């Protein structure tokens, strides 16, 4: 098994290690460290990283990784799992998407050890974590006041990446283009295949998104032969996800106060009313309509809009939209069963 050293710490096969990797200092000369949890099996296998809070206000992924660490069934039998619950520690401290230098960390890769603060963090994460790996899962949410339906974004034209996206287990896949300066682009240039999981809203925990994320990561690890597959009970039917061939935002056609008609995960037909926009006096000012048939995979949550604001993110499919909506409802019923009192850790 290959030697693994992260920030000068050697992690031996068959061990677990927690590392506080220094990334920079505050003005007060206080060290800021990136927390890393590494689990290595004795048996050779893939190396996978799971990262969260590349944007510091996207917190669902932090909880997903916390639950993975506590999960009783997380016994790595082959390969290495590297869990990084907070990449942008500065952003988490400030409840901000950005680094203190106002740069978006996910537009700064590959970075530089002599660059800006964001560039130095990007370089260290890429060098010390990503470049050791074969695969990665990067956990994100919608932006502030926006929610995303659980979805995977990836290069679906690559067969191995597509297989991982399929087994993750969410109903919707988006074939997403690479963006300059993104972690996904730099990882791919280093030969690391990545899934980007989008679910929920910034600065909020969303239980459905968290459970879907935990289950999805475990599905991928099982597919890669890194954890033992459960053999008790009947084998569960694997439901193939649907791939969106295009997506676009429907925008506000006037300014005012919003009354939503459609919600996240709803199937919509062309010209369906998505929301009404009214004045403070109750007068109807305008109606936002779907420009095409599809599924709502993202939406703005704040009930105030300016003309031109993005309100509903709609994915368009070649398949039956009602069938996709039914699959989304099945996911919700499975992960959030009615009358459940306490969330299970396994």
In a domain, 104, yes or no: yes
Give the chain's radius of gyration (CA, Å): 21
Separation CA 330–CA 326 (nearest Å): 6
Same domain, 115 and 64: yes
Q: Is the pLDDT of residue 232 over 80?
A: no
Q: Given the DSSP bridges, would you call strands 135-140 and 172-175 parallel, antiparallel or unpaired?
A: unpaired
CATH number, position 276: 2.40.50.100
Same domain, 93 and 127: yes
What is the full DSSP assignment across 226-265?
SSPPP-SSSPPPPPPPEEESEEEEEE-SS-EEEEESS-TT
Q: Please tell me which residue, 337 or 31, carries the higher pLDDT value.
A: 31
Separation CA 168–CA 197 (nearest Å): 9
In a domain, 231, yes or no: no
Same domain, 254 and 199: no
8 Å CB contact between 186 and 133: no
CATH number, position 215: 3.40.630.10
When pLDDT is averaged across residues 93-112 and rounded to a whole number, the result is 95
| Lowest-pLDDT choice from 231-240, 257-266, 284-293 | 231-240
Same domain, 45 and 76: yes
Q: Which domain holds residue 58?
A: 4-223
Separation CA 62–CA 67 (nearest Å): 9
Q: Which bin fits 111, alpha (ψ -120 to 50), beta or left (φ > 0)?
A: left
Give the pTM.
0.93
Separation CA 315–CA 293 (nearest Å): 8
Same domain, 272 and 135: no
For residue 256, name the pLDDT band (cuts at 50, 70, 90).
Answer: very high
In a domain, 235, yes or no: no
Same domain, 194 and 96: yes
Separation CA 346–CA 316 (nearest Å): 34
What is the full DSSP assignment across 281-303?
TS-EEEEEE-SSSEEEEEEE-SS
In a domain, 241, yes or no: no
Same domain, 217 and 266: no
Paired residues of 136 in beta bridges: 49, 194
Question: How many domains would you assign to the chain?
Answer: 2
Same domain, 119 and 87: yes
Q: Is the pLDDT of residue 72 over 70?
A: yes
Same domain, 251 and 306: yes
Same domain, 182 and 264: no
In a domain, 107, yes or no: yes
């Amino acid at each position: 098994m290959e030697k693994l050293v992260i920030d000068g710490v050697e992690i031996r096969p068959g061990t677990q290690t927690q590392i506080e990797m220094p990334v920079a200092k505050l003005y007060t000369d206080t060290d800021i460290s990136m927390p890393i949890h590494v689990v290595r099996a004795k048996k050779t296998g893939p190396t996978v990283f799971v990262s969260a809070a590349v944007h510091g206000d996207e917190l669902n992924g932090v909880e997903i990784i916390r639950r993975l660490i506590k999960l009783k069934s997380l016994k790595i039998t082959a390969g290495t799992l590297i869990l990084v619950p907070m990449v942008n520690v500065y952003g988490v401290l400030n409840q901000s998407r950005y680094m203190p230098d106002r740069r978006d960390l996910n537009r700064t890769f590959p970075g530089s050890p002599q660059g800006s603060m964001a560039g130095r963090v990007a370089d260290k994460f890429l060098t010390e974590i990503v470049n050791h790996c074969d695969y990665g899962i990067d956990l994100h949410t919608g932006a502030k006041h926006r929610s995303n339906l659980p979805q995977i974004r990836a290069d679906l034209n690559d067969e191995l990446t597509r297989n991982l996206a399929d087994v993750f287990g969410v109903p919707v896949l988006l074939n997403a283009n690479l963006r300059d300066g993104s972690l996904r682009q730099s990882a791919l240039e280093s030969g690391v295949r990545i899934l980007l999981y989008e679910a929920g809203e910034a600065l909020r925990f969303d239980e459905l998104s968290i459970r879907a994320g935990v289950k999805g990561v475990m599905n991928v690890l099982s597919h890669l032969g890194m954890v033992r597959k459960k053999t008790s009970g009947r084998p569960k039917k694997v439901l193939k996800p649907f791939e969106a061939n295009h997506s676009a935002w429907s925008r506000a056609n006037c300014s005012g106060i919003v009354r939503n008609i459609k919600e996240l995960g709803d199937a919509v037909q062309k010209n369906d009313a998505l929301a009404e926009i009214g004045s403070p006096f109750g007068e109807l000012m305008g109606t936002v309509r779907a420009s095409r048939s599809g599924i709502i995979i993202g939406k703005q949550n704040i009930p105030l809009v300016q003309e031109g604001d993005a309100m509903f993110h709609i994915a368009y499919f070649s398949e039956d939209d009602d069938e996709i909506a039914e699959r989304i409802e099945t996911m919700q019923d499975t992960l959030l069963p009615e009358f459940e009192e306490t969330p299970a850790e396994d």
